[in-house]
């Protein structure tokens, strides 16, 4: 949607604006070098440890974007008309990372507005863009992204499924929106936006926003952009327009551009993916039950506020299982397992439509408000749609994961707290299951105390009270105590939110299926594999829970056959083969029967490979290499690379192997995933 500001400037020649902007940039640099500084504040009042956003400044309400995608250079030439709720005078701070700022103009008069970028490039926050406003309620920034933007992954045709056209997509959580556009990059700020994406005509664009139209470019739309009007309107380009009417935090800004097709799977849902029938058809089958989950979510948590719930299956390099971008959830292709179990990831992202997107944590220090609530909501949806046993398995896998994360942070217990201090901390470095699973346990503890009916009533009131707002832990606790009087006498709220580790009144799963699987896993140390009749109905989750609960003491050279008579009775003539392989490498014996290393379910495959590495079993290193080069999901990269580099000193070749793999696979990983692997190497090598 074009604004009056765009209409006002459309008759100004591009050459004039561009030259004027260059002169002003030169003046700004001259003034800075001669200590003729532009106005800067004497003090700052930050509201977020990960942002330069100042609490005394107005919050952005709307941004109108124009993006020109230059695939040959992996750069987006852009403009952003930033609107404020009222006129503001004085400095105004915006977060940026690896952006080139060309100009900042008054949208009405086209006169330059003074600005400066901080000299220091903070390794976490990037650079502070200070705009000196004089009674401005809006201003126009023209800028270009960097090929090394931490929020963008540019894929060449050989890296795509059809290997014909390039592909680009965003990942802005937690603090990467600033690498796409200058903004107050904190979830405390919520914005509406419109966007024009100028792309090659053989490609399509999708966005976490309502699609308005696909059309030919119009003259004068590129005023001020570094690409210029001639490139904007050249033959073979189209413009896709989008509008986001609901206010969202910047980390939920998202788009993808490539050769994209779609399939209809429900009245509110289409599945999008690279335009390959086998990918689209598999995704459509996997997510056919999405509408049922939306309806259950509405029964539990209230009206679905976002109109559409579409799904985009991205290339394998996508670093997360899913990203809850409103109206257009982004998914890894590894969730397509062929048995509809991948729909549980969709259930989680759907649950974010209420907890995370509708109500948002004010800063990443309160991330559990997004993820703990969403994990609870996901499991309630799964319980209704797929049954109590499936939900119990989810809880069991989560419990195991929470215990593993507490061990991971044993030297820095701050990050085992729900509410934690992240000053000077990159949120990507401390991303873990703690806010998900400890947050879930906290809410489950409240439910157990007051009963599910009363807790359901509380949840609906919580969501309706705070929808389209960003809150912190204190706001939640105040609301909890106000609506459930005396709860602080029944549950130690401070221990749960500010204490380290797992509180003593947390709830380890107690279902029969959970106990059976854990018991079988514990018996593996005694040379006892599960029988085929015991695993006949197992899907990926059962195997994942089994593998994650195998005793950590299993080693390649240990004798652990305790009862040969029992083994002979269980396995008959197969026992000799089992015994030989068990003593050589226990994981080989397990895999020889159940082919876990070849599983199409990456949760199972990676859990198995991680344990094989830990036991010193190198028979599967070809599969490890194939996996690390085939997917970029951090849930798989982190444990496999960590297992390799944590090898004892006598296994130095493991570390050499890990470094070689990363060197060869690095360009296929998203920048966020690259950074995570590099941090693992920095810690252990």
Check the annotation: does 321 bind a ligand.
Answer: yes
Q: Is the peptide bond before 174 cis (omega within 30 degrees of 0)?
A: yes
Predicted local distance difference test score (pLDDT) of residue 584: 56
Whether the Cβ atoms of residue 44 and residue 91 lie closer than 8 Å to each other: no
Asked, for residue 16, whether it belongs to a domain, the answer is: no
8 Å CB contact between 604 and 547: yes
286 close to 305: Cβ distance less than 8 angstroms: no
- Phi, psi torsion values for 266, nearest 5 degrees: 180, 170
Least confident of 22-26, 123-127, 142-146, 412-416: 22-26
Please name the helix (run of DSSP H) or strand (run of DSSP E) that holds residue 263, with its range, or none: strand 260-266
Bridge partner residues of 194 (DSSP): 64, 243
Give me the pLDDT at residue 488, please: 98
Give every CB contact of residue 580 below 8 A, 6+ residues apart in sequence.
none
Q: How far is CA 27 from the centre of its chain?
A: 40
Residue after which a domain boundary falls, among 258, 275, 307: 258
Whether residue 4 is contained in a domain is answered as no
| pLDDT band (50, 70, 90) for residue 648 | low
* Whether residues 455 and 546 fall in one domain: no
Identify whether residues 488 and 548 lie together within a single domain: no
Give the CB-side neighbour count of residue 522, counting CA atoms within 13 A: 6
pTM score of the predicted model: 0.89
Q: What is residue 507's predicted lDDT score, i.e. its pLDDT?
A: 94
For residue 416, the domain's CATH number is 1.10.390.10
- What are the angstrom distances between the C-alpha of 429 and each of 113, 151, 403, 425? 37, 16, 18, 7
In a domain, 207, yes or no: yes
Q: Is 320 annotated as a binding residue?
A: yes
Question: Of 242, 258, 274, at which residue does a domain stop?
Answer: 258
* Backbone angles phi and psi of 376, in degrees to 5: -60, -50
Q: Encoding tokens for residue 641?
A: 């690379």
* Least trusted range by pLDDT, from 65-74, 86-95, 581-590: 581-590
pLDDT tens column, 75-121: 999 999 999 999 999 999 999 999 999 999 999 999 999 999 999 99
Q: Taking a C-beta distance cutoff of 8 angstroms, is the pair 57, 93 a contact?
A: yes
Annotated ligand binding at 323? The verdict is yes
- The reply to whether 322 sits in an annotated binding site is yes
Q: What percentage of the chain has pLDDT greater than the value 70?
A: 88
394 falls within a domain:
yes
- Predicted confidence (pLDDT) per residue in 224-237, tens digit: 898 988 999 999 99
Q: Report how many domains make up the chain.
A: 3
Q: Are residues 77 and 225 in the same domain?
A: yes
Shared-domain flag, residues 359 and 444? yes
Phi, psi of 16 (to 5 degrees): -65, -50
Q: Is the pLDDT of residue 5 over 60?
A: no
Both 366 and 494 in one domain: the answer is yes
The 10 Å Cβ neighbour count of residue 618 is 16
- At 139-191, the pLDDT tens digits run 999 999 999 999 999 999 999 999 999 999 999 999 999 999 999 999 999 99
Q: What is the pLDDT of residue 555?
A: 58
Domain encompassing residue 640 = 539-554+583-683
Q: Which residues contact 191 (CB under 8 A, 6 or more apart)?
A: 60, 61, 62, 63, 183, 247, 248, 249, 250
The reply to whether 449 falls in a domain is: yes
- Both 94 and 175 in one domain: the answer is yes
CA dihedral for 37, 39, 45, 50, sign (positive or negative):
negative
Q: Are residues 189 and 83 in the same domain?
A: yes
124/174 same-domain check: yes
CB 279 within 8 A of CB 313: yes
> Is there a single domain that holds both residue 149 and residue 199?
yes
CB 414 within 8 A of CB 561: no
* Residue 633 labeled ligand binder: yes
- 172 in a known ligand binding site: yes
Same domain, 494 and 548: no
Enumerate the active-site residues.
349, 436
Q: Is residue 628 part of a domain?
A: yes
Q: For the beta carbon of residue 70, count every other beta carbon within 10 angstroms.
A: 17
As a whole number of angstroms, the distance between CA 258 and CA 277 comes to 15
Query: Of 514, 449, 460, 508, nearest to 484 (Cα)?
Result: 449
Q: What is the pLDDT of residues 546-582, one digit of tens each?
A: 999 998 767 544 444 444 445 445 444 444 444 544 4
Nearest to 631 by CA among 657, 654, 656, 609: 609
Residue at 567 is within a domain: no
> What are φ and ψ of residue 389, in 5° steps?
-65, -40
Q: Report whether 541 belongs to an annotated binding site.
A: no
Same domain for 485 and 546? Answer: no
Q: In whole angstroms, give the CA distance from residue 680 to residue 643.
A: 10
Q: Which helix (H) or strand (E) holds 322?
A: strand 322-323
CA–CA distance, 550 with 548 (Å, rounded to integer)? 6
| 499 Cβ contact list (under 8 Å, min separation 6) | 417, 492
Token pair in block for residue 595? 């082919």
Q: Model confidence at 372, in pLDDT bands (50, 70, 90)? A: very high
Q: How far apart are CA 326 and CA 670, in angstroms?
A: 21
- Which pLDDT score is estimated for 142? 97
60 DSSP assignment:
P
Confidence band of 649 (pLDDT split at 50, 70, 90): low
Average pLDDT over residues 499-519: 94
Residues 92 and 170 reside in one and the same domain: yes
For residue 27, the number of C-alpha atoms closer than 13 Å in the C-beta half-sphere is: 12
Residue after which a domain boundary falls, among 258, 280, 303: 258
Three-class HEC string of 569-630? HHHHHHHHHHHHHHHHCHHHHHHHHHCHHHCCCHHHHHHHHHHHHHCCCHHHHHHHHHHHHH
Annotated ligand binding at 490? The verdict is no
The burial class, CB within 10 Å (0-12 / 13-18 / 19+), for 161 is middle
Give the pLDDT mean for 625-639: 96
Residue 103 dihedral angles phi and psi, to the nearest 5°: -165, 160
Residue 55 and residue 312: Cα distance in Å, rounded? 36
Q: Which of 27-31, 65-69, 120-124, 282-286 has the lowest mean pLDDT?
A: 27-31
Q: Token pair for residue 283?
A: 């995704």
Please choose, from the candidates 284, 327, 443, the residue with its C-alpha nearest in 3D space to the C-alpha of residue 378.
Answer: 443
First CA to last CA distance, the chain: 52
Q: Is the pLDDT of residue 434 over 60?
A: yes
- 461 inside domain: yes
pLDDT at 25 over 90: no
């Amino acid at each position: 949607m074009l604004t009056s500001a765009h209409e006002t400037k459309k008759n100004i020649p591009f050459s004039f604006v561009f030259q004027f902007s260059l002169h002003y940039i030169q003046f700004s640099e001259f003034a800075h070098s001669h200590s003729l500084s532009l106005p800067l504040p004497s003090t700052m009042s930050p509201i977020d440890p990960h942002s330069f956003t100042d609490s005394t400044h107005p919050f952005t309400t709307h941004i109108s974007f124009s993006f020109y995608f230059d695939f040959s250079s992996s750069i987006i030439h852009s403009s952003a008309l930033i609107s404020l709720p009222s006129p503001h005078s004085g400095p105004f701070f915006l977060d940026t990372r690896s952006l080139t700022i060309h100009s900042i103009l008054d949208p009405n008069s086209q006169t330059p507005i003074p600005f400066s970028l901080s000299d220091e490039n903070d390794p976490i926050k990037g650079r502070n863009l200070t705009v000196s406003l004089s009674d401005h309620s809006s201003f126009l920034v023209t800028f270009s992204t960097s090929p090394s933007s931490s929020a963008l992954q540019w894929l060449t045709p050989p890296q795509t499924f059809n290997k014909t056209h390039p592909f680009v997509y965003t990942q802005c959580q937690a603090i990467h929106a600033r690498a796409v556009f200058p903004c107050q990059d904190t979830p405390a700020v919520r914005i509406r936006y419109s966007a024009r994406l100028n792309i090659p005509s053989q490609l399509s664009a999708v966005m976490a926003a309502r699609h308005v139209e696909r059309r030919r470019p119009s003259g004068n739309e590129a005023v001020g952009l570094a690409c210029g009007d001639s490139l904007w309107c050249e033959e073979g380009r189209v413009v896709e327009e989008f509008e986001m009417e609901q206010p969202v935090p910047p980390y939920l800004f998202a788009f993808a551009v490539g050769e994209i097709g779609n399939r209809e799977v429900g009245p509110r849902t289409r599945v999008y993916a690279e335009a390959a029938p086998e990918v689209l058809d598999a995704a459509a089958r996997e997510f056919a039950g999405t509408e049922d989950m939306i309806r259950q979510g509405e029964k539990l948590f209230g009206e679905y506020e976002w109109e559409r719930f579409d799904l985009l299956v991205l290339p394998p390099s996508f670093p997360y299982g899913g990203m809850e971008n409103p109206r257009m959830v982004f998914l890894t292709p590894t969730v397509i397992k062929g048995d509809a179990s991948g729909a549980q990831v969709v259930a989680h992202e759907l649950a974010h439509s209420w907890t995370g997107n509708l109500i948002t944590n004010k800063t990443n220090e309160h991330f559990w408000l997004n993820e703990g609530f969403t994990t609870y909501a996901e499991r309630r949806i799964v319980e209704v749609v797929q049954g109590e046993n499936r939900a119990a398995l989810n809880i069991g896998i989560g419990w195991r994961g929470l215990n593993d994360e507490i061990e991971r942070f044993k030297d820095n217990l701050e990050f085992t707290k729900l509410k934690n201090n992240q000053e000077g901390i990159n949120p990507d470095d401390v991303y873990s299951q703690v806010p998900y699973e400890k947050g879930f346990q906290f809410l489950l503890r409240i439910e157990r105390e007051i009963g599910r009916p009363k807790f359901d009533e509380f949840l609906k009131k919580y969501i309706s009270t705070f929808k389209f707002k960003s809150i912190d832990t204190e706001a939640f606790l105040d609301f909890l105590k106000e609506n459930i009087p005396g709860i602080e006498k029944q549950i130690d709220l401070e221990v749960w939110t500010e204490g380290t580790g797992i509180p003593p009144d947390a709830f380890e799963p107690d279902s029969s299926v959970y106990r059976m699987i854990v018991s079988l896993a514990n018996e593996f140390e005694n040379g006892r594999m599960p029988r085929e009749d015991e695993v006949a109905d197992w899907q990926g989750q059962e195997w994942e829970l089994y593998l994650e609960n195998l005793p950590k003491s299993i080693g390649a050279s240990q004798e652990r056959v305790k009862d040969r008579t029992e083994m002979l009775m269980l396995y008959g003539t197969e026992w000799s083969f089992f015994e030989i392989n068990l003593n050589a490498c226990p994981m080989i014996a397990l895999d020889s029967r159940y082919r876990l290393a070849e599983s199409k379910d990456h949760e199972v495959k990676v859990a198995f490979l991680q344990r094989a590495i830990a036991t010193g079993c190198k028979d599967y290193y070809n599969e490890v290499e194939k996996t690390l080069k085939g997917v970029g999901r951090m849930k798989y990269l982190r444990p496999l690379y960590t297992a390799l580099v944590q090898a004892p000193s006598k296994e130095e070749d493991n570390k050499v192997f890990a470094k070689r793999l990363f060197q060869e696979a690095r360009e296929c990983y998203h920048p966020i995933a690259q950074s995570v692997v590099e941090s693992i190497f920095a810690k252990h090598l």
